[in-house]
Amino acid sequence: MNLSSLLSFFAKKDQSVLGIDIGSSAVKVVQIKKKRGKIVLETYGELALGPYAGIEVGRATNLTPEKSAEALRDILREAKTTTVSAGVALPLSSSLISFITIPQVQDKQLADVISLEARKYIPVPMNEVMLDWSLVPREDSFSTDEENKISANTKEPVGSSQDVLVVAIHNEYINNYQIIMDSSQVKTSFYELEIFSSIRAVIDQGIQAVMIIDMGARTTKLYIVERGVLRSSHIINKGAQDITLALSKSLSISVAEAENMKRLHGLKGGPEYKELTEIITVNLDYVFYEANATLLNYQKKYNKDVSKIILTGGGVLLKGFVDLAKISFQTEVVYANPFAKLETPAFLAEQFSQAGPEFAVAIGVALRRLSELE
């Protein structure tokens, strides 16, 4: 290694990277770097998008790329980020996910076979989407002996078929994001669907299936993950803003007041806030009912229990959310703590564990960008 390549080697190792998550109601950024083998959090920040659309904080927006870029520039400035090198998350709604089964073919034929099969599931012309895929590891390649015995009796013989996770993202989304990043001077290394960012940020090594619940402003997203691999995803058309809008309507208060009240008291307002508690409970019950149905479906289909539920997204920060979730799910329910994957100042530990659920996507996408430098 000559001197210049040695220098660029160290420059690369020391490089800071950004993770960017533009949600429907808020944009989140984190900046991290590798230092002496550890991943260090340099800065992070979040900004509500409502005001850029002339609506309240906490509500979902449909911003033009120009407006989104304005917000992104603002938060990068506010957080005092010092790099432009980024990984960027794309919303789940930009994509179509399908699990397809193809015959076992040779590697060089894979792309063709998958693209041909995927056509059947994707309702738009193939030249309008970007296609990405990954092979789902075979059950028996990672199951225990006990499971093997069962699968040997019930599954097709090894080598006859292959499950593939196919993600199609509409080109229009990519183009819009390109405009946002270009006009914010951000250099995007890749775009990644937010699911995969979340999984990277919150899942630890473990063999059992877990469900991630991401309660955003517009929707609630459910992902079932086994051994780090996505096995099922589902969107519920109810998010945290719907609780605010329901409160505003039922209590005849402004949306801004409703949002404040929701964040201040949540389910912990006591007898004085009986109505508030009731309205929130009704809305969350709907979400939990749907999530339970997804869980049961999965358990029935694969004959496997989901051992844990991990909460992400701003909506789960509602006071008392986790207690109600524990009653509804009858299984272990925990808050995501993606900051635990980073070196952070110990005296801020409490603050980080509270912000964790909101930053899962931004941290996950930054971690991938960082791993590209290795």
Between residue 120 and residue 149, which ones bind ligand ATP under the rule CB under 6 A? Answer: none
Q: How far is the CB of 169 from Mg ion (least distance, A)?
A: 16
Q: How far is the CB of 248 from ligand ATP (least distance, A)?
A: 12
**Residue from 18, 19, 23, 79 in contact with Mg ion (CB under 5 A):** 23
- Answer yes or no whether residue 356 interacts with ligand ATP by CB under 6 A: no
Residue of this chain nearest to Mg ion (CB atom): 23
Strands laid side by side in the 332-335 sheet: 229-236, 220-226, 209-215, 306-312, 332-335
- The interface mask with ligand ATP, positions 48-87, x = CB under 6 A, is ----------x-----------------------------
**Residue from 210, 261, 318, 333 in contact with ligand ATP (CB under 6 A):** 318
Size of residue set near ligand ATP by CB under 6 A: 24
- The interface mask with ligand ATP, positions 263-282, x = CB under 6 A, is x--x----------------
- The interface mask with ligand ATP, positions 217-246, x = CB under 6 A, is xxx-------------------xxx--x--
Specify the amino acid at residue 224: I
**Residue from 216, 269, 338, 356 in contact with Mg ion (CB under 5 A):** 216
Residue 269 interacting partner from ligand ATP, Mg ion, none (CB closer than 5 to 8 Å by kind):
none
144: left (phi over 0), alpha (psi -120 to 50) or beta: beta
Query: Which residue, 313 or 364, is less far from ligand ATP as judged by CB?
Result: 313
Q: Which residues form the interface with Mg ion (CB under 5 A)?
A: 23, 216
Q: Which residues form the interface with ligand ATP (CB under 6 A)?
A: 23-26, 58, 91, 216-219, 239-241, 244, 259, 262-263, 266, 313-315, 317-318, 358
